[in-house]
Amino acid sequence: MSAAEFLHRTVLLTEAVDGLAIKPDGCYVDCTYGRGGHSRLILSRLGPAGRLIAFDKDPQAVANARSIADPRFSIVHEPYAAFHRGLDELGVGLVDGVLMDLGVSSPQIDDASRGFSFRFDAPLDMRMDTTRGQTAAEWLATAEQADITEVIRDYGEERFAKQIAGALVAARVENPVVTTGQLSQIVAKAVRTREPGQDPATRTFQAIRIYINRELEELSLTLPQALGRLAAGGRFSVIAFHSLEDRIVKRFMQDAAKADRLPSRLPVRAADIGEAPLKLIGKPVRASQAEVDENPRARSAILRIAERTGAPIPKGMSA
């Protein structure tokens, strides 16, 4: 089955693009092209002078993007942590909006050959960019037990991380752990209890995927870059599916939305307090029940929107 045949429903499609408050002649960045749901909607709202730059490190996503024959559109085959470099190479300075749809996409999960899912028995790859980097199988073959424990505990929030890591290290003495089926079976034996309806391997697969793709590190590196490129009035529109991702986004936006802090009870005029570089727009948005019923993967999605003010960015908040 080709990548084009995998069904992909873009979560919070309209809400995320509405959050950008598109200007017809504006310049926008889609940090996570995926299968182009958000990108195509942005392009439909841009005028002839508008521009959209998309990033994706997945070769299949990049191939899909190259089917868009639109002079206003550019695709960059890089992780979004290459934000500054990607825009510099395209001659782009400030932008009017940045959209991020974090995590793994439906086509990546549903394509057994990618090794993201415990629902299929397939090579244990898990790389979003299959042209570079270490596979999950390669990492598990050599990682120290303490490191495996830390990854599964911290990125999967798995309370049985120590037991799972021990089981994996013991298993690889007999046979290398090279398939999703092997990993799933080892984890199932090590996890004593699990929430109703959740596969015992869910948290472990999630944790290893996040680690292999440096997802949290790249997010932390990219948010300051994007803030530094936003023009006054430009918007952030960020969808997270995982509590660790959302925590990073939430804290970054909240910190950037705080004006200069002054000692409490100090008499000071409002005009003397510096403006913050970001302004939060509305409350976090979640998928409607109708969208969740149609696409259960939307259940955990949370959208946060913020707008760049004209205030300077404090040192250390941009990159």
Q: Is 199 annotated as a binding residue?
A: no
Q: Which residues contact 201 (CB under 8 A, 6 or more apart)?
A: 118, 183, 184, 187, 188, 191
In angstroms, the CA 222 to CA 304 distance is 16
Strand, coil or helix: what is 283? coil
Contact 237, 219 (CB under 8 A): no
Q: Is 80 annotated as a binding residue?
A: yes
Instruction: Burial-class residue 272 by CB neighbours within 10 Å (0-12, 13-18, 19+).
Output: exposed
Q: Which residues contact 285 (CB under 8 A, 6 or more apart)?
A: 12, 15, 19, 302, 303, 304, 305
Q: Is 125 annotated as a binding residue?
A: no
Contact 59, 86 (CB under 8 A): no
Phi-psi region of 301 (alpha: psi -120 to 50; beta: other; left: phi over 0): beta
Q: Is 37 annotated as a binding residue?
A: yes
Q: Is 121 annotated as a binding residue?
A: no
In angstroms, the CA 70 to CA 51 distance is 10
Contact 105, 126 (CB under 8 A): no
Q: Annotated binding site for S-adenosyl-L-methionine: which residue ranges?
A: 36-38, 56, 80, 101, 108
Q: Annotated binding site: which residue ranges?
A: 36-38, 56, 80, 101, 108
